[in-house]
Amino acid sequence: MDYRIAPRDERTQPARIVPGYPQTPWRNPREPLVRRAPTLSELTGPAGVEKRVQLLGGDIAGRGETQAIGQLMHLRVRVVDEDGAPVGGAVVEIWQCNAAGRYIHPNDDEHAPVDRNFYGAARLVTDESGAFTLRTVKPGAYPVPTKDGWWRPPHIHFSLFGKVWLSRLVTQMYFPGEPLNPQDRILNAVPDAAARERLIARLVPPAGEPHGALVFEHQIVLRGSQATPVQP
């Protein structure tokens, strides 16, 4: 088998049960997870998911020519594996709330207004260099129904299909300098400070993007490596 999946450093991944996140103690296993050596079954994975799902493109900043309310932003994302090799042809699903903090979803309550020019879902395929650009408006913060002062900071959700089954990733991306970041229970469920920092996009100068758009860059590293382990 030419592709390897090695165990991750636990400190770079979120705790499964999170204080103050009331659903987590009901849904995460009590029994220890079972360690297994990956077989061909887990080291292969779906190719051509885009044949089964509808692609929506990466421009969700408005409807037609009408821009959604909020700060226009371009997000340049690069998807790589643990070798830093680009993961091209990967299906990426993206979802976010509008600038007021409201999702188009039956689970969202009516704490904030809907923007009729914003739906908040993009689905696309990475190019050969593992890159894609999302054109959107910056999501707002919103209160969590725990009603104890927890607000989610602005964030964007990602679901990605990598080269193999065990490369599958669901994650969230945050914005730099947000005052709600240091108290967010989901971001801070990751124990390692450097790993948390890697979940935060970087604000960069525009390079060809239109005037009036904030530009952010982000990198997502999927599990998997071709590299031969270093011999001692």
Partner 1 sequence: MIPTGEATLGPFFPPRYVDAGANDLTQCGGRKAGGEAIEIVGCVRQEDGAPLDNLLLEIWQADANGIYRHRADPRHREADADFLGWGRAATDKAGNYAFRSVRPGAPAGRARHVNFMVMFSGLMRILKTTMFFPGEQANGKDPVYQAVPEARRALLVAREEAPGRYRFDLKLRGEHETPFFDD
Residues annotated as catalytic (active site), given as ranges: 103, 142, 152, 155, 157
Selection from 98, 99, 96, 91 nearest residue 220 by Cα = 91
Site for partner 1, residues 210 to 229, rule: CB under 8 A: 220-223
Number of residues in the chain: 232
- Applying CB under 8 A, the span of 1-9, 60-68, 132-140, 201-209 interacting with partner 1 comes to 1-9
Write down the least CB distance from residue 227 to partner 1, Å: 11
Selection from 142, 121, 131 nearest residue 61 by Cα = 121
Query: For partner 1, which is the closer residue by CB, 68 or 199?
Result: 199
Q: Does 20 bind partner 1 (CB under 8 A)?
A: no
Site for partner 1, residues 137 to 196, rule: CB under 8 A: 157, 159, 164-166, 168-172, 186, 189-190, 195-196
Residue 173 near residue 136 (C-beta atoms within 8 A): no
Rounded Cα gap, residues 75 and 94, in angstroms: 12
Query: For partner 1, which is the closer residue by CB, 37 or 230?
Result: 37
Rounded Cα gap, residues 210 and 213, in angstroms: 6
Radius of gyration over alpha carbons of the chain, in Å? 19
Site for partner 1, residues 77 to 106, rule: CB under 8 A: 80-84, 93, 95, 97, 103-106
Q: Does 23 bind partner 1 (CB under 8 A)?
A: yes
Q: Does 208 bind partner 1 (CB under 8 A)?
A: no
Pair of tokens at residue 73: 């932003």
Amino acid residing at 147 = K
> How many Cβ atoms are within 10 Å of 108's Cβ, its own excluded?
15
Rounded Cα gap, residues 139 and 216, in angstroms: 13
Q: Does 44 bind partner 1 (CB under 8 A)?
A: yes
Site for partner 1, residues 123 to 142, rule: CB under 8 A: 123
Query: For partner 1, which is the closer residue by CB, 39 or 211?
Result: 39
Q: Does 34 bind partner 1 (CB under 8 A)?
A: yes
Query: For partner 1, which is the closer residue by CB, 34 or 207?
Result: 34
